[in-house]
Amino acid sequence: MGAVKTKRMPRAVREQQMLDAAVRTFGQRGYMAASMDEIAELAGVSKPLVYLYLNSKEDLFTACIRREAAALTAAVRAGVHPELAADRQLWDGLRAFFTHTAQNPDGWSVLHLQARTHGEPFASEVAAMRAEIVAFVTELILAAAREAHRDPDLPEREVAGLAEALVGAAESLAAWANATPGVTETEAAATLMNFAWSGLGNLMAGRPWTPPEAAAQTSG
């Protein structure tokens, strides 16, 4: 299972191997239950080397959070085209998000579960990433208002709350989609777009949100 034990590799490569092993271990066992022994073994190096490169368990975990957070935001960013309409941007972003979390369950576990569960300094580390995403969504909501030629009288805090709600819904649906067999990322994204854009009231009235023509959207 562990990486093939090759000697004398450049530091950057070794570090990535260690982070790979750490993300996998932290994601599956949890922060506290993961042992440095297991991580070192999975990485195919000795424990002192892990300490030499990454200082401590806390630092290692923080490095994992940062790497996975960067990977997630990069994936979302790569999926979104800022010149398109707001709902299209949200649609693309959600698909990228669901795809990335489905393909990186351990990284997503680190970000969504482990980091938030084990207090400072980890919680604020991941909170920063989340704030970035919430800000992005907030921007989209405001852009949608502008596109509707309507200066929203929604107070700023209300918009922030809506963005929070949308992000929370997305997080929840990511877990649901991963746990429910047969649910695709596209389906999860469509469900959320319907929910967010049309509202349940409109859905009940038979006015769902209409997905854009399925332009090829090869993420990552």
Partner DNA sequence: TATGAATGAGCATTCATTCAT
Partner DNA sequence: CATGAATGAATGCTCATTCAT
Residues near a copy of itself (CB under 8 A), total? 53
Question: Of 137, 77, 69, 149, which Cα lies nearest the Cα of 101?
Answer: 69
- Distance, CA of 202 to CA of 208 (rounded, Å): 6
Do 80 and 89 contact (CB within 8 A), yes or no?
A: yes
Stretch that binds DNA, among 10-18, 71-79, 100-108, 207-215 (CB under 7 A): 10-18
Judged on CB neighbours under 10 Å (0-12, 13-18, 19+), 219 is: middle
The least distance separating DNA from the CB of residue 131, rounded to whole angstroms, comes to 28
Binding residues for a copy of itself restricted to 183-202, rule: CB under 8 A: 183, 187-188, 191-192, 194-202
- Tell me the residue length of the chain: 220
List the one residue from 3, 16, 28, 36 that touches DNA (CB under 7 A).
Answer: 36
Do 121 and 62 contact (CB within 8 A), yes or no?
A: yes
**Residues engaged in binding a copy of itself (CB under 8 A):** 29-30, 32-33, 113-114, 116-119, 141, 144-145, 148, 150, 152, 154, 157-158, 160-162, 164-173, 176, 180, 183, 187-188, 191-192, 194-206, 209
**Residues engaged in binding DNA (CB under 7 A):** 5, 7-11, 14, 32-37, 45-49, 51-52, 56-58
